[in-house]
Amino acid sequence: MTVRQNGVRESILEAAKMAFSSKSYADVSMEDIAKLANVKKPLIYYYFPSKEELFKATWDEAFHKLEDKVFGISENDNKYVRKAKAFLRAYIDFLRNDRQSLRLIEREKTRFYSETGSSWEHIKTEYDGFVNRVADVLSTEIDTNSKEYARAITDIVGSSALLPEGQMSPDTIELIIIKGLAK
C-alpha cells in the first residue's frame, strides 16, 4: 500500500470513527462516511468490502488505542494499589483525551453481544479479553469476584463516554471507583 493509499484508508477510518461514535451502527450509512471522508462511496468499498468490515476495522483501531493506554502503564507495577490506580487513571485519561474512541467502543456493546457473524464475534472476544485483563489487574487484592468488579468499572467508565460533556466528570468517576476499591 502506497503512502497515498494509506492516507485515503486512514481518512475513511477517521470519518467512520466520527460517524459511528455519534450515531448507532444502524443509523450510519456508507454514504455518510463517504461525505465525511470526502471520497466517493465506491472507494470505501475498495478498502472495506462491507459496512460491517469497516466498523470492525474502526472499532479495532479505537480499542487497541484504549488497550495500549490502559495496560501500558500498570502492567510493570507490582504494588496492587499503585497498579490499580495507575490503570484507573490511564482509563480515565483515555476518556478525557479520546472520548470519541470510547464512545465508538461503548455505543455498540449491546449489538456485539447479540449479533452473529465473524466481525461481531471478533469484537465480542476482544472486549471480553479486555474485561479479563481488567479483572487480572484487580484480582490481586479483591477477595470476591474480580471479574464482576472489572465489568462494573468498564461499564461505568464506558457509559460515561455516552453522556453529554460535563454531565459526570472523569474526576468524579475516578474518585467513586477508587473509594470502592479501597474498601
Domain ranges of the chain: 52-182
Superfamily of domain 52-182: Tetracycline Repressor, domain 2 (1.10.357.10)
Q: Which position has the higher pLDDT, 83 or 51?
A: 51
- Residue 149 burial (C-beta neighbours within 10 Å; 0-12, 13-18, 19+): buried
pLDDT for 96: 82
pLDDT for 3: 37
Q: Which three cell numbers stand for residue 108?
A: 455498540
pLDDT for 140: 64
Give residue-wise pLDDT tens across range 79-113.
666 777 788 888 888 888 888 888 888 888 878 88
Cα 113 off chain centre by: 15
pLDDT for 169: 75
Give residue-wise pLDDT tens across range 114-165.
888 888 889 999 999 999 888 887 776 555 677 888 888 888 888 888 887 7
Give φ, ψ of 77 to 5 degrees. -100, 130
pLDDT for 1: 47
Give residue-wise pLDDT tens across range 2-50.
435 668 999 999 999 999 999 999 999 999 999 999 999 999 999 999 9
Cβ distance 74 to 137 under 8 Å? yes
